[in-house]
Structure 1
Amino acid sequence: MPDTSHTRGQNAPLSIGIDFGTSNTVVAFAYADGRAEALTFDHNGQTLQGFVTALCFWDERKGGSLTTRVEGGPWAIDQFLDGSAALRFIQSFKTFAASATFQETRILREPYRFEDLLATFLRTLVKHADGRLDLTASNIVIGRPVTFAGRRPDDALAMQRYRTAFERLGAKDPAYVYEPVGAAFFYARQLKRDSTVLVADFGGGTSDFSVMRFEQVAGQLRAEPLGHAGIGIAGDAFDYCIVDRIVAPRLGKGGHFRSFDKELSIPNHYYANLARWHQLALMKTNGDLNGLQDLLKSAVEPDKLRKFIEIIEFDMGFSLYSAVSRTKIALSSEEEARFSFKGGDIAIEGKLRRESFERWIAPGVAKIAATLDEALNRAHVEGTAIDRVFLTGGTSFVPAIRRLFVERFGEERLVSTDQFESIAYGLALIGQDVQKERWAVTGSAA
């Protein structure tokens, strides 16, 4: 079991593991004595073990010209919430890694491709590491999803973009390893006997599964990957179910506006932006806010639409999604939870029963279950042959997800953790394996 203390070792680490996540990024170091520790960040007096996967760009005037500044992690959120200058906030951009349709986005006059965003993010991460993170080190292991998010993810394109970005930071031929494999290595240190292990890693954008065989050979832990599968459905999709059913109708979704002598439906595309809270800020510049203000003049229920406009204008998306997250967490332990969001003159209150939430997310849970079956089939392993199931990630605590695994494998075989450093720890430990190349991903997951 890795030492999860966060004191820095006396010697340089043998390997570095990087878990670049949809919501948070975690870096871990592994040392010669078998310890693994997470890179920590001091943010406003608080020690953080994760670096929020976010960027904020803003203009700063120096002399007579504008200079673009950028921050990452929690400092990006600080800048966004301050909102004292024209800015562009970007979060969860990992979801575009495998998208061929995403070519570039324009940020304050400059075009940015995915690899530009990732390289910029990594620079902010290195900056706030205060000299403790050297990406030119020769032994770096980087996590990647089994299946990238998106409707038609291009695995090869995503890996090309990853490599380009990390090369710009001087990374020397890093190894890329499936994220659940990293989690498996973290967990395997607890095993007392040879075991076949299923790892289920639930992130913000993807749910990934790996089947691994662990054995003790001559006092050394040996592991063999048997099969992998993944799907671009996870916690963010479940959050949106709450937004779509509770919040959006109170902001005018499903409402109407008058056009001459007809009543027409307010276009749903405005509410698609509620899928990600940071997308609301983009509505100020892409014409959507102007469109809503025009609709307000003829809306049948103008008060609802006015609330939506106010949330956009005053950048309330972060607070809104914090309320959503609190509600989802409460439903993990309670049969009923209260949703409560307040901002300015807006108050959205409502009760949500777990049975309703589970009904909304049922299609996603069914797809996750099918992906689990796919992992077992690729491993040529029956469910009865799985000795342990290691669940990691916040979504693993959603009762409907937990029930899926209890019904398949039984409560006694399940092990859970909310320690979101587990993947990074495992990746760093893999870097110490003399045969680490056998864990590296060279092609697609299929």
Structure 2
Amino acid sequence: MRLGPDHVDKTDRSSDILGVDGVYVGGNNFDSTIMWRSLIRYFGSEIEYKDWDKWLPMPRHLMQDLCRWQRITFLKDRKTREFVKHLLRTSNDAEPIERLIALIEENLGFSLFQTIEKAKHNLSSDMDTQLAFNQSGIVINECISRPEFEELTNTHITKIGSCIDQLLVTSGLAADQIVSFFVTGGTSYIPAVQKVLIDTFGAMKIRTGDAFISVAAGLAVSITSH
């Protein structure tokens, strides 16, 4: 987007927009990946259960729902509850299923993901952090290092970098033509994300605001203007 004194008073800035692109990657994606790669085993991902005369693995879709905190509450439907009770009776390891039941019935999904988010935030300044959760019999203690976190979430980082590269191509611009690059949102504090930006544009071009409220503020401005 073109910026400067000659543009600031224009009521219609559409001609100043040189390109638009995006990728669906945000804080929730990083949190969900930590859950999937590091914590899901606490809730039965590795168990097997007996159905008639066959041993079957834990259904993948159930574990995937656990990795989105907003989906966990929907696991309290009657069909899922009955199935989880069946798991408790027939699995080769009841302890993870007991944790799963506690997580669902005690509505602890949001609380657990707050703990995950805190650990993620800590890794923006620390090289390792302790992810500790202890509620209703669910006891989790996991040490996560920044290199481990970056390995877990490398797919997300790559998507962000590829999106930036594609936007430069479609806009017909080179990275050295960009004067300022404004970042917002808590994800912009993740060191691996910052590295992508610095490697592409240089540290001197990166600009920040209040990362945790600027997205909401921007939406409010957009709604007002429409």
TM-score normalised to the size of structure 1? 0.47
| Secondary structure of the structure 2 residue equivalent to 1:231 | coil
1:333 aligns with 2:101: no
Where does 1:29-178 land on structure 2 (aligned, <5 Å)? none
1:406 aligns with 2:198: yes
Aligned length: 222
Per-residue CA shift, 1:141-176, capped at 9, x if unaligned?
Answer: xxxxxxxxxxxxxxxxxxxxxxxxxxxxxxxxxxxx
In 2, are the aligned partners of 1:391 and 1:416 still within 8 Å (CA)?
Answer: yes
Q: 1:248 matched to which residue of 2?
A: 40
Question: After alignment, is 393-402 or 410-419 more displaced?
Answer: 410-419
User: Structure 1 285/425 Cα, relative in aligned 2: closer, same or farther at 3 Å?
Assistant: closer
Rounded to whole Å, the distance in 2 between the matches of 1:354 and 1:372 is: 23
| Secondary structure of the structure 2 residue equivalent to 1:348 | strand
User: Structure 1 431/251 Cα, relative in aligned 2: closer, same or farther at 3 Å?
Assistant: closer
Rounded to whole Å, the distance in 1 between the matches of 2:221 and 2:105 is: 46
Rounded to whole Å, the distance in 2 between the matches of 1:336 and 1:423 is: 28
Task: Identify which of 283, 295, 304 aligns with 2:75.
Answer: 283
Per-residue CA shift, 1:288-326, capped at 9, x if unaligned?
Answer: 222111011111111011101111011111111110110
Rounded to whole Å, the distance in 2 between the matches of 1:427 and 1:251 is: 37
The residue type equivalent to 1:416 in the other structure is T
Rounded to whole Å, the distance in 2 between the matches of 1:280 and 1:220 is: 46
Q: 1:20 matched to which residue of 2?
A: none
Structure 2 unmatched runs, 5+ = none
User: Structure 1 424/342 Cα, relative in aligned 2: closer, same or farther at 3 Å?
Assistant: closer
User: Structure 1 380/318 Cα, relative in aligned 2: closer, same or farther at 3 Å?
Assistant: same
In 1, are the aligned partners of 2:116 and 2:131 still within 8 Å (CA)?
Answer: yes
| Secondary structure of the structure 2 residue equivalent to 1:287 | helix
Per-residue CA shift, 1:57-107, capped at 9, x if unaligned?
Answer: xxxxxxxxxxxxxxxxxxxxxxxxxxxxxxxxxxxxxxxxxxxxxxxxxxx
| Secondary structure of the structure 2 residue equivalent to 1:215 | coil
In 1, are the aligned partners of 2:22 and 2:163 still within 8 Å (CA)?
Answer: yes
Task: Identify which of 106, 119, 144 aligns with 1:352.
Answer: 144
The residue type equivalent to 1:331 in the other structure is L
User: Structure 1 406/301 Cα, relative in aligned 2: closer, same or farther at 3 Å?
Assistant: same
User: Structure 1 357/213 Cα, relative in aligned 2: closer, same or farther at 3 Å?
Assistant: same
User: Structure 1 213/430 Cα, relative in aligned 2: closer, same or farther at 3 Å?
Assistant: farther
Offset at residue 280 of structure 1 (A): 1.3
User: Structure 1 266/227 Cα, relative in aligned 2: closer, same or farther at 3 Å?
Assistant: same
User: Structure 1 282/431 Cα, relative in aligned 2: closer, same or farther at 3 Å?
Assistant: closer
1:317 aligns with 2:109: yes
Offset at residue 241 of structure 1 (A): 1.0
Q: 2:180 matched to which residue of 1?
A: 388
Offset at residue 347 of structure 1 (A): 0.9
1:301 aligns with 2:90: no
Offset at residue 430 of structure 1 (A): 7.2
| Secondary structure of the structure 1 residue equivalent to 2:41 | helix
Task: Identify which of 214, 236, 241 aligns with 2:3.
Answer: 214
Rounded to whole Å, the distance in 2 between the matches of 1:427 and 1:412 is: 27
Q: 2:60 matched to which residue of 1?
A: 268
Structure 1 unmatched runs, 5+ = 1-211, 441-446
TM-score normalised to the size of structure 2? 0.89
User: Structure 1 303/423 Cα, relative in aligned 2: closer, same or farther at 3 Å?
Assistant: closer
User: Structure 1 310/228 Cα, relative in aligned 2: closer, same or farther at 3 Å?
Assistant: same
Q: Which has the higher strand share?
A: 1
In 2, are the aligned partners of 1:391 and 1:417 still within 8 Å (CA)?
Answer: yes
Task: Identify which of 5, 25, 30 aligns with 1:238.
Answer: 30
In 2, are the aligned partners of 1:215 and 1:221 still within 8 Å (CA)?
Answer: no
Rounded to whole Å, the distance in 2 between the matches of 1:431 and 1:274 is: 33
| Secondary structure of the structure 2 residue equivalent to 1:227 | coil
In 2, are the aligned partners of 1:230 and 1:371 still within 8 Å (CA)?
Answer: yes
In 2, are the aligned partners of 1:369 and 1:404 still within 8 Å (CA)?
Answer: yes
| Secondary structure of the structure 2 residue equivalent to 1:264 | strand
In 2, are the aligned partners of 1:214 and 1:221 still within 8 Å (CA)?
Answer: no
Identity across aligned pairs (percent)?
Answer: 27
User: Structure 1 263/304 Cα, relative in aligned 2: closer, same or farther at 3 Å?
Assistant: same
RMSD: 2.3
Rounded to whole Å, the distance in 2 between the matches of 1:277 and 1:430 is: 28
Per-residue CA shift, 1:322-355, capped at 9, x if unaligned?
Answer: 1011000001111111001111122111100111
